[in-house]
Amino acid sequence: MALPDLGSSSKDAPCAFCNQPSKNECTGCEHAAYCSGEHQKEHWPQHRQKCKSYKVLKNDKVGRYGVASRTLDPGEEVLTEFPVVVGPKPDSYVMCLGCYAPVDGSTSCSKCGWPVCGPECEMQPCHASAECQVFNAAGAKFQPVENCMDSCPQLNCITPLRLLLSKETTPERWESEVKLMEAHNDERKDTYIWENNQINIVDYLRNVCKLANRFDEELIHTACGILEVNSFEVRCPSGSAIQGLYPQTAILSHNCVPNTSHCIIAADNNKLILRTTVKVEKDEELFTTYTHTLNPTLIRREHLKQSKFFDCNCTRCTDPTELGTNMSSLKCNKCDPGVIMSSNPLDPAAQWKCSHCEFVTPGPAVRRVFSIIQNDMEQLDYLEPGAETVEIRENLWKKYRSVLHPKNAFLMSLRCSLSQLYGRAEGYIMEDLPDILLERKIDFCKDILSVANIVEPGYSRLRGMTLYELHAPVMLFARSQWRYGEIDDKKLRVRLEEAEKYLKEAVEILKLEPPTSPEGMIASIAEQSLQQLHESIESLPKS
Ligand SMILES: C[S@@+](CC[C@H](N)C(=O)[O-])C[C@H]1O[C@@H](n2cnc3c(N)ncnc32)[C@H](O)[C@@H]1O
């Protein structure tokens, strides 16, 4: 652990731990004092757990934002927080209002008639102490839906209503945290979402639910805006994705290269843990990402503008090469080595130009190409896992590799899914993969890491998962080559040590995930594999 970052202070306050005179003051919390010398080593780790690792500042560009109040190590916990509210996202399918599992509408709450799995779920406080009472008192009925997999706008009022009710039940938290959150009402007023909210949420709550005396129109729209701009996705054990409002974490600004990552522990009342992914120096800004890092700049910026109402001008967005990754670039079909990039990535209308020939094309034409690819990629989400999904992705790969730069973000997304399918999909399980596919999986993982090291560096889930995917084919390919006499014992050891290095780092990253999450479960499998791999390396003849 790094030694303390102590500010020099003229205050002669006693050490917070041993009461001896001290001239040191923690630069993190600005009030605890430390003795110097020997005690420092002992007291610093104790203090580190108590001292707030970030502070909140404000400027005209972003509003509130967070900075590190001392140097933070990679993977260090920045904060933990419980949500003010959780509930369905807008336009979700019909789900139980107690546990959020998908339901078909055949079971409902005995008190209000809205969808729940059964008696246990209707008693869950999130439902029983919130909307259930309102619906019951007002006689607001849930209208049966024809197809339970379709989006159900009736549920759109649930989370805003829960948030509004929290204003009455926990007014301190509303006053000190929620009220300060950005809702972007002025920008949202002209959107179709605002119009839909007016009907499905504002009018519904005020008229059908008879809440007009408790919540005015502006307040309801503000609650909707706070959720739209600030909420995080929460994955439920049932597989449903819902939303949660975490006011401290939501203070962090966006950057397309984040230096933090968070996980949410469903089994611990949806507790969120925010950690750094890389070393963050004192006074450096803490960033999260509001969008998918494996998207090209045009798509990321469009998403941020539409959903969070700002133009991202981060270093990655400003650079036509996306920090040298070429994640936005296309191949030139007029010359061989040419790479096509935007002449101004902050302007969607700017010309895209070839780096080698005279070819130019307008930004909107590139956007149309991206739309076609996005559409193809979205179809992949509806495929059942199986051999066919490998082939469909490989075909898309072939289709786009002549158009896109090899490191383009869309090809990276395809690599991500293929790297996980090779070794798991039907007909492609790890033990049966021929060497050529082991090598393909290795190449995919290495390519993903080459961009992940830049756009999601350090302790990121993307790096952790990719390192885990990489270790197995490296190990199996080495063994296969050794078996056929293509490499000797010495080379085998080198390769297995390489696999061990990947696995070690994967464990280090993934063990920070909740043990019951998919990544946390992989961490524990990886830890066992690491032990076995280590033993198998130890048993090799030493040269
Ligand atoms: C989740 S909130 C972040 C906290 C917010 N700054 C506040 O004061 O409550 C998201 C909003 O912060 C602002 N914001 C965050 N990151 C930004 C960035 N990189 N550039 C400009 N504005 C940003 C935008 O107004 C955005 O809608």
Residue 229, ligand 1, Cβ within 6 A? yes
229 Cα: distance to centroid of ligand 1 (angstroms): 8
Q: Are residues 43 and 89 in the same domain?
A: no
Q: How far apart are the C-alpha atoms of 394 and 397, rounded to whole Å?
A: 5
- What is each CA distance from 149 to 92, 141, 234, 494, in whole angstroms? 9, 20, 19, 51
Strands laid side by side in the 24-26 sheet? 6-8, 24-26, 33-34
**pTM beyond 0.80, yes or no:** yes
Q: Are residues 13 and 117 in the same domain?
A: no
Q: How far apart are the C-alpha atoms of 499 and 467, rounded to whole Å?
A: 9
Q: Are residues 40 and 114 in the same domain?
A: no
Residue 312, ligand 1, Cβ within 6 A? yes
Q: How far apart are the C-alpha atoms of 477 and 439, rounded to whole Å?
A: 7
Q: How high is the pLDDT of residue 505? A: 98
* 182 CA closest ligand 1 atom index: 9
Q: Are residues 443 and 490 in the same domain?
A: yes
Residue 271, ligand 1, Cβ within 6 A? no
Structural domain boundaries, residue 19: 1-51
Q: Are residues 430 and 528 in the same domain?
A: yes
Q: Are residues 221 and 132 in the same domain?
A: yes
| CB burial readout 465-477, b (16+ within 10 A) else e | bbbbbbbbbbbbb
* 250 CA closest ligand 1 atom index: 1
Q: Are residues 140 and 208 in the same domain?
A: yes
Residue 377 lies inside a defined structural domain of this protein: no
Residue 26 has phi, psi (to 5 degrees) of -70, 130
Q: Are residues 19 and 100 in the same domain?
A: no
Q: How high is the pLDDT of residue 7? A: 42
Sign of the torsion angle spanned by Cα atoms 167, 170, 175, 178: negative
Residue 220, ligand 1, Cβ within 6 A? no
Q: How far apart are the C-alpha atoms of 51 and 33, rounded to whole Å?
A: 11
ipTM score: 1.00
Residue 31 lies inside a defined structural domain of this protein: yes
Element spanning 110, H or E? none
Tell me which of 196, 222, 240 is where a domain ends: 240
- Evaluate whether 397 touches 411 at the Cβ level (below 8 Å): yes
Tell me which of 240, 266, 284 is where a domain ends: 240
From first to last of its 543 residues, the chain has per-residue pLDDT tens of 343 444 444 355 666 667 666 666 665 555 555 666 555 666 666 666 666 899 999 999 999 999 999 999 999 999 999 999 999 999 999 999 999 999 988 899 999 999 999 999 999 999 999 999 999 999 999 999 989 889 999 999 999 999 999 999 999 999 999 999 999 999 999 999 999 999 999 999 999 999 999 999 999 999 999 999 999 999 999 999 999 999 999 999 999 999 999 999 999 999 999 999 999 999 999 999 999 999 999 999 999 999 999 999 999 999 999 999 999 999 999 998 999 999 999 999 999 999 999 999 999 999 999 999 999 999 998 887 776 899 999 999 999 999 999 999 999 999 999 999 999 999 999 999 999 999 999 999 999 999 999 999 999 999 999 999 999 999 999 999 999 999 999 999 999 999 999 999 999 999 999 998 999 999 999 999 999 999 999 999 876
Residue 69 lies inside a defined structural domain of this protein: no
Q: How far apart are the C-alpha atoms of 450 and 429, rounded to whole Å?
A: 25
Other CB atoms within 10 A of residue 536 CB: 13
Domain count, the chain: 3
Helix (H, G, I), strand (E, B) or coil at 209: coil
The two three-digit tokens of residue 281, written as one number: 């120096």
Residue 300 lies inside a defined structural domain of this protein: no
Residue 309, ligand 1, Cβ within 6 A? yes
301 Cα: distance to centroid of ligand 1 (angstroms): 14
